[in-house]
Amino acid sequence: MTSHAPVTSLDGLVRAVLEHTAGGPLPKVAIARSAEGHVLQAGVEAFERGVAEPILIGDIDETKRIAEAGNLDISAFRTIEMTDDQQAVDEAVRLFREGEAQFIMKGLVSTAQLLKGVLNKKTGVPNPGSILSHVAAFESPVDGRLMLITDPGVNIAPSMQRKAEILKNSLDVARKLGMTRPKAAILAATEKINYPAMPATLDGDILTKMSRQGEFGDAEVLGPLSLDLAMSREVAACKRFDNPVAGCADILVTPNIEAGNILYKALSTLCGRTMAAVVVGSQVPVVVPSRGDTDASKFHSIALASLLAQRSQ
């Protein structure tokens, strides 16, 4: 894989997309289905700021009405009439498979249906041996560094094996963001192995050992680790934790969906961080915005998916 200059902020993420594009055609995002105000708004912003060009799949009359009501100019976008959810999903995947779109965004269809279409063995674009997982980029409230969290939204109670796949997916994203030797913290409630009471602590230890054996390539993996130790050099120093990952993690791997979702919401709602999130693990980056996400979050999610698409070619 080519190595890239490190992306160190969300602004830097947008700049990196623009550098790739450099006046050429924009990466295209297939939106299934498009008749939704917030999604349209994010698509228009992405287009105007030069990070992606939407292809609208859905009820096009209704899409136009919503755009007009929201004062959104969608006249430049390709449109494909498709009012059935399944057909809209299949069309979005087909556009990617045939090189007409570079990534996909969820509109009015359900997340489950969209991801099922992506993973379909006949018509989809799965990555053999990989699983889908959710990765979000944000700027650390502690020291401003660009960091990743996974998995706040797709895998519910991952086994150690699935955590290894989730970790691999996030390391791939980190490398595409230019982190040359990404540092991942496998989070738990404590640094001590406590098995069988706390399986997350054993998972952290095993993943650390797998990493030392080279399982994850050029990376530093450390677990089990609590959140403060992963993020704060001050706490790491206070607890006398001397390891390249302690206080300096690039990636936070959460033990289960509740912990992941709560950390995601703590970062967005409590810390006011913009979260750029994408579902990775198949051949196509998928943007799955949720209602509670801010407009900035939806726009930066498109930018992240766009960069990942550019750097997957």
Binding site for its own copies (CB under 8 A): 140-142, 152-153, 156, 187-190, 197-198, 200, 226-229, 231-232, 235, 238-239, 254-263, 265-271, 291-292
Minimum distance between the CB of residue 62 and its own copies, rounded to whole angstroms? Answer: 21
- Residue with Cβ nearer its own copies (257 or 309): 257
Which residue's CB is nearer to its own copies, number 94 or number 239? 239
Q: In the complex, what is the shortest distance from the CB of residue 101 to its own copies, in angstroms, rounded to a whole number?
A: 29
Give the nearer residue to its own copies in terms of CB position, either 256 or 312: 256
Residue closer to its own copies, measured from CB, 151 or 220: 151
The residue among 56 and 267 lying less far from its own copies, judged by its C-beta, is 267
State the minimum distance, in angstroms, from the CB of residue 93 to its own copies: 25
Closer by beta carbon to its own copies, 52 or else 230: 230
Contact present, 309 and 103 (Cβ < 8 Å): yes
- Shortest reach from residue 224's CB to its own copies, in Å: 10
Of 178 and 199, the one with the shorter C-beta distance to its own copies is 199
Nearest-CA neighbor of 146 among 169, 172, 178?
Answer: 178
Least CB distance from residue 238 to its own copies, whole Å?
A: 7
Nearest Cα residue to 100 out of 33, 34, 25, 173:
25
Please, what is the minimum distance in Å from the beta carbon of residue 208 to its own copies?
Answer: 17
CB of 48 to its own copies, least distance (A): 24
Q: Cβ of residue 16: shortest distance to its own copies, in angstroms? A: 26
Residue closer to its own copies by CB (options 26, 193) is 193
Angle at 18 between CA 310 and CA 248, to 5 degrees: 75
Nearer to its own copies, 5 or 238 (CB): 238
Minimum Å gap between C-beta 140 and its own copies is 8
DSSP the chain: ----PPP-SHHHHHHHHHHHHTTSPPPEEEEES---HHHHHHHHHHHHTTS-EEEEEE-HHHHHHHHHHTT---TTSEEEE--SHHHHHHHHHHHHHTTS-SEEEESSS-HHHHHHHHH-TTTS---TT---EEEEEEE-TTT--EEEEE-SSS-SS--HHHHHHHHHHHHHHHHHTT-SS-EEEEE-S-SS-BTTTBHHHHHHHHHHHHHHTTTTSS-EEEEEE-HHHHH-HHHHHHTT--SSSTT--SEEE-SSHHHHHHHHHIIIIIS----EEEEESSSS-EE---TTS-HHHHHHHHHHHHHHHHTT-
Burial 2-11 (b: 16+ CB within 10 A, else e): eebeebeebe
